[in-house]
Chains A and B, each alone.
Chain A
Amino acid sequence: MNGSNTTLDLNAHSLREVNAALQGAENGAFTLLNPGGAHALACGLTSPVEVTIRGHAGYYCAGMNKEASVTIEGNASTGVAENMMSGTVRVTGNVSQSAGATAHGGLLVIEGDASARCGISLKGAEIVVGGSVGHMSAFMAQAGALVVCGDAGEALGDSIYETRLYVRGTVASLGADCIEKDMRDEHRAQLADLLARAGMDADVADFRRYGSARQLYNFKIDNAY
């Protein structure tokens, strides 16, 4: 099925029917109406389709996304774009916890705030948050980048392996083995590119960079109690 500006109303079609239509399309644009906070909307897409969700989405929206471009015109609940492989997911409102969890690739843009554990166990995707993020964001993050135009909550980057964290506002506290690092030209270039792709109007010079001190990679007997 090739979609081209197809409108799908969740009040008229089941979630399974809607997801099957999206997953079966090779290209085209879809608009979903009346999402009503349903779970797993537009998840598991593997083709470059464009999906616009008019309203608030439930858990795991656009999870496992590959190549598709999904826009949520509203808020999204837990785990938006979790385990994304590629493509773009944009949320115009706020998101709940664990946004972009374990995502391997692609770009997740959150225009509002993200709550706790944003980018937990991030594995290579890029996340740009227009507002603030909650506590334990980028917990055990392994690769990729997290840009926060607002503030970060407690324990940012706790037990981080790699991943570049850029924060414009205040950081309530840094987690274990997460430290502030110098902004070099390569980082300024990466941040400018991410802000441009996310459509965020922010000055690179206002951001600070945080990352791994790389002291937890290996077991140290001195750390034992």
Chain B
Amino acid sequence: MCGIVGLFLKNQALHSDLGRLTALMLHEMCDRGPDSAGFAIYGGGDERAKLVLLSKTAETDFDGLGVRLGQALGAAVDVETLHDHAILRTRADGRSARTWIIENAADVTVLSLGTSIEVFKGVGDPDRVAADFGLAQRTGTHAIAHTRMATESAITTAGSHPFSTGADTCLVHNGSLSNHNNLREILAAGGERFQTENDSEVAAAYLAHRMAAGDSLNMALESAIRDLDGFYTFAIGTKDGFAVLRDPIACKPAVIAETDDWVAMASEFRAIAPLPGAESARIWEPEPARIYSWSHAA
């Protein structure tokens, strides 16, 4: 099963409410995915690279890791810890920082990298995960969240969604991919670094890889329809964009609602119902193999 929600704000006056509204949406999807949950929130930040890390052991010395990373990159690294997560900020190149951490810190998973995105995940009750990481208090421009009923790989925090491999890009997935092992090998040969056995991470890496090569989000999704085999409803976030894509068979549910103030997508309408103005929103079911996207970019 799994539950997906995404909220893309068009009205700046709602930015302070992003986390609260996303938490309301996530709550409605708890019974679609009680195994684990996660969310990506796009908001503040400065020009520094921001990496969100997860400790696989819950005992990682993040401050020590920050010092070692700073020495390796020759730049200061600020460390902010939150439960088994840490947010590292540095003026060094973010992609180099991600690679260094994957190669030198075996007890850590890099959940996200970028100047805007922050990803948080946890195993167990989605409401508790949202509370642990203060989702309701967070502000920003858009958010994507997921409740997981695990099928293709183990129930672990690292195996929870959203998956993010490229800067400020993330993906949540309801479904299962059947050609992810082959694609993983192709992408790895092309330089992508994987951290889990999860099929959805391959989809995230695929899109990130295409966009790093120059594709727009829509171009990358056009290619995805051709190259990804399996069942999927995706919600995708970029630094200033948001997209929804369903596979050509469209077995996995999705509904989109739009008002002058926001665009929301969810596995089911009940996750959209709590949003302000939902009763008069334009509501539709996204068609199979059709890309729906919105952007804050001019």
Contact = CB atoms under 8 A, between A and B. Distances in A.
Contacts of B250: 97, 115-116, 134-135
25 contacts: A37-B269, A37-B270, A37-B271, A37-B272, A37-B273, A56-B269, A56-B283, A58-B268, A58-B269, A58-B270, A75-B269, A77-B255, A77-B268, A78-B253, A94-B284, A94-B285, A96-B255, A97-B250, A97-B253, A97-B285, A115-B250, A116-B250, A116-B288, A134-B250, A134-B288
A36 B270 contact: yes
Nearest to B286: A115
Contacts of A97: 250, 253, 285
B268 A56 contact: no
Interface residues of A, number: 19
Interface of A: 36-39, 55-56, 58-59, 75, 77-78, 93-94, 96-97, 115-116, 134-135
Nearest to B274: A36
B256 to A, nearest CB: 12
Contacts of A134: 250, 287-288
Contacts of A135: 250, 288
Contact of B283 (A58, A75, A78): A75
B107 interface: no
A203 B193 CA distance: 60
A39 B271 CA distance: 12
B80 interface: no
Q: Which of B274, B285, B288 has the most CB of A within 10 A?
A: B285
Given A56-B283, A75-B283, A96 B253 contact: yes
Given A78-B253, A96-B253, A96-B255, A115 B285 contact: yes
Interface string B274-298: 1000010001110110000000000
A116 B284 CA distance: 13
A51 to B, nearest CB: 19
B285 A56 contact: no
Interface string B237-261: 0000000000000100101000000
A130 B273 CA distance: 25
A36 B25 CA distance: 12
A18 to B, nearest CB: 15
A75 B283 CA distance: 8
Contacts of B279: 55
A202 to B, nearest CB: 23
A113 to B, nearest CB: 8
Contacts of B283: 56, 75, 93-94
Nearest to A114: B285
Contacts of A94: 283-285
A52 B168 CA distance: 46
A56 B275 CA distance: 14
A27 to B, nearest CB: 30
Contacts of B273: 36-37, 56
Contacts of A37: 268-273
B251 to A, nearest CB: 8
B48 to A, nearest CB: 41
Q: Which of A36, A75, A97, A135 has the most CB of B within 10 A?
A: A36
